């Protein structure tokens, strides 16, 4: 599977992502990012890789009505889902490529990105674009997943699918969402992009809960580009692969409510 496919969230993926994956792993960290942004009292905020809008919704609650919010994403289907779900107050939604942001220099007080930078093909280029659109003294507030071994559900799903497709294991989760966890590499990329101040990096562990093992399996197998990897190996076996992952999750965490560890790095760096 080409890494180019890793950043494609299309078809039914956005809807499953919003309904299953957002409450499973994204909502907690979205509230954390929104609180960090609000503490800076920004007048104008840009969100990149907004997905289906979980951080956007949190920002719309945490920030006063006077603060402008522009939310962008590369995938039209994700933005369409975000617009459909809506926010507590108006925000500006725009399609945009983080590698070439359609905004003027120094236009924003804060740029925020939740679990998106891992998908950018040239991370220093994307970070340089963030640096460019930030006002001097402004901040980039973002997070990335820690190692897959520290994120139990992603690890169990990846390990189980390696048994399901032993000749060609799907590696999307390890390769991309959990492929940019090295703190030294992140700091190096920030310096290469023009950030001269030291980044503040905080590692936060939390709990990922789902009503059932099958709910968690659907989230990962059908609400992320992992679905494309599964279908590339055997298009008719998506349901079977999802069931296989669900069985592995239930074996690890038991029947009923799933309660698993997740862990991420939160990074704040000033321009």
Q: Confirm if 128 and 193 have CB atoms less than 8 A apart.
A: yes
Q: Which residue has the higher pLDDT, 190 or 4?
A: 190
CA angle 100–79–216, rounded 5-degree value:
115
Residue 4 pLDDT: 56
Q: Which residue has the higher pLDDT, 8 or 115?
A: 115
Is the full-model pTM beyond 0.85?
Answer: yes
Residue 8 pLDDT > 80: no
Instruction: Classify residue 241 by its DSSP letter.
Output: H
Average pLDDT, stretch 70-80?
95
Q: How many domains does the chain contain in total?
A: 1
Give the E-state strand segments of 146-256 in sequence order: 200-210
Give the E-state strand segments of the chain in sequence order: 44-47, 68-73, 92-95, 108-114, 134-145, 200-210, 258-270
Residue 17 pLDDT: 94
CA angle 210–214–215, rounded 5-degree value:
40
Measuring CA to CA, how many Å separate 146 from each of 139, 143, 176, 188? 22, 9, 11, 17
Residue 213 pLDDT > 90: yes
For residue range 154-191, what is the model confidence (pLDDT) as tens digits?
999 999 999 999 999 999 999 999 999 999 999 999 99
Residue 2 pLDDT > 70: no
For residue range 81-116, what is the model confidence (pLDDT) as tens digits?
999 999 999 999 999 999 999 999 999 999 999 999
* DSSP state string for 152-171: HHHHHHHHHHHHHSTTS---
Q: Confirm if 19 and 85 have CB atoms less than 8 A apart.
A: no
Residue 1 pLDDT: 43
Q: How many CA atoms lie within 13 A of 19 on its CB side?
A: 11
Burial class from Cβ neighbours inside 10 Å (0-12, 13-18, 19+) for residue 254 reads exposed
**Domain CATH for 248:** 3.40.50.150
Domain with 250, as residue range(s), is 3-270
């Amino acid at each position: 599977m080409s890494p180019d496919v890793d950043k494609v969230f299309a078809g039914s993926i956005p809807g499953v992502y919003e309904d299953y994956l957002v409450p499973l792993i994204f909502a907690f960290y979205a509230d954390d990012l929104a609180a960090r942004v609000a503490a800076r009292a920004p007048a104008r905020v840009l969100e990149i890789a907004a997905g289906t809008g979980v951080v956007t919704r949190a920002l719309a609650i945490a920030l006063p009505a006077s603060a402008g919010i522009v939310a962008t994403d590369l995938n039209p289907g994700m933005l369409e889902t975000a617009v459909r779900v809506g926010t507590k107050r108006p925000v500006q939604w725009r399609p945009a490529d983080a590698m070439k942001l359609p905004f003027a220099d120094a236009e924003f007080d804060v740029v925020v990105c939740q679990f998106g930078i891992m998908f950018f093909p040239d991370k220093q280029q994307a970070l340089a674009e963030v640096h460019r659109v930030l006002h001097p003294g402004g901040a980039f507030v973002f997070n990335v997943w820690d190692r897959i071994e520290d994120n139990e559900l992603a690890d169990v799903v990846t390990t189980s699918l390696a048994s399901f497709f032993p000749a060609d294991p799907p590696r999307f989760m390890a390769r991309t969402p959990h492929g940019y966890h090295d703190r030294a590499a992140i700091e190096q990329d920030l310096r290469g992009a023009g950030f001269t101040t030291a980044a503040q990096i905080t590692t936060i562990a939390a709990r990922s809960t789902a009503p059932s093992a099958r709910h968690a399996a659907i989230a990962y197998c059908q609400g992320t580009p992992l679905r494309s990897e599964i279908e590339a190996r055997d298009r008719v076996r998506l349901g079977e692969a999802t069931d296989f992952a669900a069985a592995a999750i239930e074996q690890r965490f038991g029947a009923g409510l799933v309660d698993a560890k997740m862990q991420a790095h939160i990074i704040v760096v000033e321009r």
